[in-house]
Amino acid sequence: MANLKEIRIRIKSVTSTQQITKAMKMVAASRLRRAQDSILQMRPYAKKLYFILENITTWLDADTQSIYSVDKDPKKVLLVVVTSDRGLCGAFNSNAIKLALEQIKEQYTEQKNDNRLWIMPIGLKSEEYFKKRKYQVVEDYAGLFSDLSFEQAKIAAEYIMEAFKTDRYDRIELVYNEFKNVATQILRAEQFLPIPKKDEDDNDDQQPVDYIFEPSLKYILEDLIPQTLKIQFYKALLESNASEHGARMTAMEKATENAGDLLQDLKLKYNQSRQSAITNEILEIVSGAEALKGG
């Protein structure tokens, strides 16, 4: 039977860990509420803007086509992999990295082998993983989550858009976790640039939407499209941010429950050990008394 002192030390250690996981769960729950409010308010606006963007770019002719919708042979590829800055959030980070690796294996193996694949990590966990494995990393924007705002996200988006315009990259993809609810995150790998055209197999009406361009189509192309791209990029970061807090809250809740189960087992083992020690002491006293009586 285990030593009573060792069990007491383990009980004290697990109790301390349980208090920490409870506190982390409460902090994650508080941050999740704010992050969830932000993404739920952003989604309808971003979705409608992207619907308009898709329709405009799909039906533009060669003369009026936006530079951001020009389809290129993907010789040079940038993957934007969004994770968190910290761990203790279950499989949140590893799942995003795993999806990025699958994209590379299935679509961009040639680019990787020829050093024509770059990774833009957003989140320190992503940066740490890909730098350690000697990928070509654009590391200027890894710390965006330390001060997440539209202004900060816009700077990163502008870098990506300018790099696409100047042919530094031919294709840019986003890999991130989309927030569904506290317990569920949906992994996404989406083409960011060039702007994907509407799928011809969609059930939507394939006739062009009859937009009235005011003040002009040129103004729409030069102003609305870049602004919409920045909003879509910011939306992906908000999705990942809410997903992170949901994943951390769920992980800490599970850790707290596991600590509670372990405490029950330890206390049972402690009581059994204590009862065994008392029984042994009584047996020794009785045996001693019998020996004295016999003497």
Q: Which of 24, 49, 79, 89 is catalytic?
A: 89
Q: What is the pLDDT of residue 195?
A: 87
Residue 89: active-site member: yes
Q: What is the pLDDT of residues 193-224, one digit of tens each?
A: 998 876 655 555 555 567 777 777 777 777 88
Q: What is the pLDDT of residue 60?
A: 67
CATH of segment(s) 4-20+253-285: 1.10.287
**Which residue would you say has higher pLDDT here, 48 or 78?**
78
Residue-wise DSSP of the chain = ---HHHHHHHHHHHHHHHHHHHHHHHHHHHHHHHHHHHHHHHHHHHHHHHHHHHHHHHH--TTT--GGG-----SSEEEEEE--SS--STTHHHHHHHHHHHHHHHH-HHHHHTT-EEEEEESHHHHHHHHHTT-EE--TTTTGGGG--HHHHHHHHHHHHHHHHTTS-SEEEEEEEEEEETTEEEEEEEEEESPPPPPTTSSS--SPP----SS-HHHIIIIIHHHHHHHHHHHHHHHHHHHHHHHHHHHHHHHHHHHHHHHHHHHHHHHHHHHHHHHHHHHHHHHHHHHHHH-
Specify the pTM: 0.86
When the pLDDT of each residue in the chain is averaged and rounded to a whole number, the result is 89
Domain borders along the chain are 4-20+253-285, 23-199+206-247
CATH of segment(s) 23-199+206-247: 3.40.1380.10
Q: What is the pLDDT of residues 110-149, one digit of tens each?
A: 999 999 999 999 999 999 999 999 999 998 999 999 999 9
Give the amino acid at 216. Answer: S
Q: What is the pLDDT of residues 15-37, one digit of tens each?
A: 999 999 999 999 999 999 999 99
